[in-house]
A = this chain, B = another copy of it.
Amino acid sequence: MFSKKTEYALRATIYIAKHSSEEKKLSIVDISKAINSPQSFTAKILQVLTKKKLIHSLPGPNGGFYITEPTLQAPISCIIDAMGENEALDKCVLGLKKCSTANPCPLHEQYKKVKFQLKEIFEEKSISKLAKELKNNKSLQY
């Protein structure tokens, strides 16, 4: 569905949402270990999220990444957007230049319903909600 970049962005954000606070910041080392992603690559991704103020960071001892309320309340579509993948959800499944009901490909009618549901999922699920759904005891096999 998504690129690695977006996958890591989502995983990292959810992890940060679950385990960080302004008092307890998380280092890139911790985060990339926890979500099983390449450290430097993940650092680049978090840089982008930080620039877009979706997460925050502070260098130095006890520094790291953390997240605040506005983003916790935001839908995960923010993260997908920030990674430039929201357009992926608008594309025609057969690669038509424009996916539209006016000029539909032969799969359009059925596919658009699915796309609509997908968008709904990503716009309705907030980051904090997802983080809460992450069971503490059960570590996911990323």
Contact = CB atoms under 8 A, between A and B. Distances in A.
Given A107-B130, A113-B117, A117-B113, A141 B97 contact: yes
Contacts of A111: 121
Interface residues of A, number: 36
A53 interface: no
A3 B98 CA distance: 17
B117 A10 contact: no
Stoichiometry (number of copies): 2
Find the residue from A95, A103, A114, A121 having the highest chain B CB count within 10 A. Answer: A95
A14 B95 CA distance: 13
A35 B46 CA distance: 39
A118 interface: yes
A96 interface: yes
A134 B107 CA distance: 10
A98 B98 CA distance: 33
Interface in A55-95: 88, 91, 93-95
Given A107-B121, A121-B107, A134-B106, A98 B141 contact: yes
Contact of A121 (B4, B10, B110): B110
